[in-house]
């Protein structure tokens, strides 16, 4: 039972780490000489970064991605704290339903963020505010990590729903 508990904790911490990395790191859309995310666009050769502001095309979509990724990360961290509290507070045989609900909300938020970015990336990268041509890029590792985090939070949310507290 202790091994299962350790696995669940490591799995949850991994999910949170993936969410932090995909939210913070600057690699949602990358090209030969640039990388961009939902916060800024950086030119690789000169280390010059431009913040993505309301002057950019489709900025409300960027704000939606920002908000849902932040919410997803917060929900994941709160779910971990609730899980730790429920370890000590639940009676034997009860399920971790509250932890599961919070983790599934995290899953929903990261899915919404990645889906919005997937749908709107062409419009996002056609803005005249960019210093260089960024429309000829490809999805970066932060975007891929966001989708992996979606799968991890979904699996852990379902795992908490099925899991019962044992002695």
- Model confidence over 92-123: pLDDT tens digits? 778 888 999 999 999 999 999 999 989 987 77
- Per-residue pLDDT at 142 exceeds 70: yes
- Model confidence over 25-40: pLDDT tens digits? 888 888 888 888 888 8
Whole-number pLDDT of residue 85? 92
Beta-strand ranges (E) seen in 39-130 are 40-43, 48-51
> What tokens were used for 26?
């600057």
What is the H or E stretch that residue 93 is in?
none
What is the H or E stretch that residue 130 is in?
none
CA distance 43 to 50: 9
What is the model's pTM?
0.89
User: Residue 47 class from Cβ within 10 Å (0-12 exposed, 13-18 middle, 19+ buried)?
Assistant: exposed
CA distance 1 to 7: 10
What is the H or E stretch that residue 149 is in?
helix 141-162
Whole-number pLDDT of residue 153? 95
Q: How far is CA 135 from CA 82, 112, 124, in A?
A: 42, 22, 9
């Amino acid at each position: 039972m202790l091994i299962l508990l350790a696995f669940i904790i490591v799995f949850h911490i991994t999910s949170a780490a993936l969410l932090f990395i995909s939210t913070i790191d600057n690699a949602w859309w990358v090209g030969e000489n640039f990388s961009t995310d939902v916060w800024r666009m950086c030119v690789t050769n000169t280390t010059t970064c431009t913040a993505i502001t309301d002057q950019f095309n489709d900025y409300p979509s960027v704000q939606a991605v920002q908000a849902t990724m932040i919410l997803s990360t917060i929900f994941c961290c709160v779910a971990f704290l609730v899980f730790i509290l429920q370890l000590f507070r639940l009676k034997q045989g009860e399920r971790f339903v509250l932890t599961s609900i919070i983790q599934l909300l995290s899953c929903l938020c990261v899915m919404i963020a990645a889906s919005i970015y997937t749908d709107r990336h062409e419009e996002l990268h056609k803005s005249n505010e960019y210093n260089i041509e960024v429309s000829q890029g490809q999805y970066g590792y932060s975007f891929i990590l966001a989708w992996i985090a979606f799968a991890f939070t979904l699996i852990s949310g379902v795992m908490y729903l099925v899991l019962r507290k044992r002695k």
